[in-house]
Amino acid sequence: MRQIYAFLVFAGIFLLILPISVPTIKTSADFSMFNTDWDGCTEFAKVLVDRGRLAPVLYPYNTINFKEEGVLIVVGPDMGFSSLEIEKVRDFVEKGGTVFIADDFGRANTLLNGLGVKGKFSDERLGDIFYSRSADFPVVARIEDPQLAYDVKGLVLNIPSVITGLEGGEEAEEGVFSSKVSVAGEEGNRKSYPILAETKYGAGRVVLLSDPDILINDMNAENVKFIDNLAGYLSPGSGSGVFYFDDVHHSEFNPYSISTIYIHRELDRGKAFQIFAFVAALMIFIESGIAWTVIHGIGRLIPARKGDLDTFEGLPERIDKRILKRIVKEIKTGSKFEYGDEGNEKGKRRKRIYRKAKRGGQ
């Protein structure tokens, strides 16, 4: 029996360190979570995995069963959204889901128009006197939301757009903004423009970011802290939500390699201790006799079957149950002899005596 307990421990430890196989997809599409090149979003996807479960969306929204405690991630879409997809997103957000859309000059406005959201992405480029490397990389430091601003000195953009339609509303009070001397387009007014804004929608919310390039691999090192804060900002409070990463609205999504990698895992001491504790408790439960006591007790609680009951219970005392049982047995077996072979032998002897007496009489 001890060998069985040792085997259980060995099997549990083996499962903990057994390598797991993970299918991998590679593509060259911009903003894809499977694109490991400079213009992909694999680094952003890794941050999301640390906050919850990551599920790629490779088919139209109306074929996906979005959970209410989930976040739909849409980064740099260059394809429009169908009416069925818009209805699916509306239902998802109204029930408490979150939609995060990072776009600049793409096609996300078709989704926002279908949802009836006031905020839109401008087709004008943001210009500012504060920048990194060159004017194509404006730097914004006005981050009003404390969760997004934690330990972030500045956010480096990459040829960004701006968000319009939210001026003067509650959405304009918190978020990320350009400086007061920035301008949208060549003839725009110099003022502060929203770069990231959130608007309530039913029981859920829609979060807009006017520069998807913040999330590409090439910009990760400069904005690593902000991206980590953003993942926490988007994550459901329960911590058990799902991030649905949209790759279906990238027209150049072209998987050119599908393979499997094997990940070797280190022994988790905490889980190993749980295995030892479980097997030890099981051994005590069985070897101490508690298990058999419990099984016997449960057996006594189960009512007996009808066939197990005594058929002759309840008969009057003057009836000899022994004789009655013998009669019933003879009827069932078709024999009037009670004791099987012994009874048959007695019967044969009686027949022989009777026949001898009869011959003698003749």
pLDDT in tens, 246-278: 999 998 877 654 444 444 556 677 777 787 788
What CATH number is given to the structural domain containing 75?
3.40.50
Q: What is the mean pLDDT of the chain?
A: 81
Whether residues 76 and 186 share a domain: the answer is: yes
Q: Is residue 307 part of a domain?
A: no
* 46 secondary structure, DSSP code: H
pLDDT of residue 335: 60
pLDDT of residue 2: 67
Whether residues 158 and 87 share a domain: the answer is: yes
Q: Is residue 167 part of a domain?
A: yes
**Measured distance CA(37)–CA(47) in Å, rounded:** 17
pLDDT(220) > 80: yes
pLDDT(21) > 60: no
**Measured distance CA(340)–CA(317) in Å, rounded:** 28
Q: Is residue 316 part of a domain?
A: no
**Cβ-contact 70, 242 below 8 angstroms:** yes
pLDDT of residue 354: 45
Token representation of residue 227: 């991206």
* 110 secondary structure, DSSP code: H
Whether residues 8 and 54 share a domain: the answer is: no
**Cβ-contact 94, 117 below 8 angstroms:** no
Q: Mean pLDDT across the stretch 81-92?
A: 96
Pick the more confident residue, 258 or 192: 192
Whether residues 111 and 225 share a domain: the answer is: yes
Q: Coil, strand or helix: which one is 196? A: strand
Whether residues 286 and 251 share a domain: the answer is: no
pLDDT(321) > 90: no
Whether residues 212 and 288 share a domain: the answer is: no
**Share of residues in the chain with pLDDT > 70 (%):** 76
Whether residues 327 and 230 share a domain: the answer is: no
Whether residues 329 and 286 share a domain: the answer is: no
Task: Tell me which residue range forms the domain holding 7.
Answer: 1-18+269-302
**pTM beyond 0.75:** no
pLDDT of residue 191: 92
Whether residues 277 and 257 share a domain: the answer is: no
pLDDT of residue 257: 47
Q: Is residue 313 part of a domain?
A: no
pLDDT of residue 274: 82
In sequence order, the 6+-apart residues with CB closer than 8 A to the CB of 162 are 121, 122, 124, 126, 178, 184, 193, 194, 195, 210
pLDDT of residue 146: 93
pLDDT(40) > 90: yes
Q: Which of 91-95, 272-276, 300-304, 342-346 is predicted most confidently?
A: 91-95
Whether residues 7 and 57 share a domain: the answer is: no
Residue 52 pLDDT grade (very low, low, confident, very high; cuts 50, 70, 90) = confident
* CA dihedral (15, 18, 23, 26) positive or negative: positive
Q: Is residue 180 part of a domain?
A: yes
Angle value at C-alpha 91, between 63 and 102, nearest 5 degrees: 80
**Measured distance CA(290)–CA(296) in Å, rounded:** 10
pLDDT(347) > 60: no
Q: Is residue 337 part of a domain?
A: yes
Amino acid present at 333 = T
pLDDT of residue 283: 77
Q: Is residue 311 part of a domain?
A: no
Whether residues 46 and 72 share a domain: the answer is: yes
Q: Mean pLDDT across the stretch 114-135?
A: 93
Whether residues 249 and 226 share a domain: the answer is: yes
Q: Is residue 315 part of a domain?
A: no
In sequence order, the 6+-apart residues with CB closer than 8 A to the CB of 305 are none
Pick the more confident residue, 333 or 146: 146
Considering its fold, how many domains does the chain have in total?
3
Residue 168 pLDDT grade (very low, low, confident, very high; cuts 50, 70, 90) = low
pLDDT of residue 325: 77
Place of tokens 């699916």: 88
**Share of residues in the chain with pLDDT > 90 (%):** 51
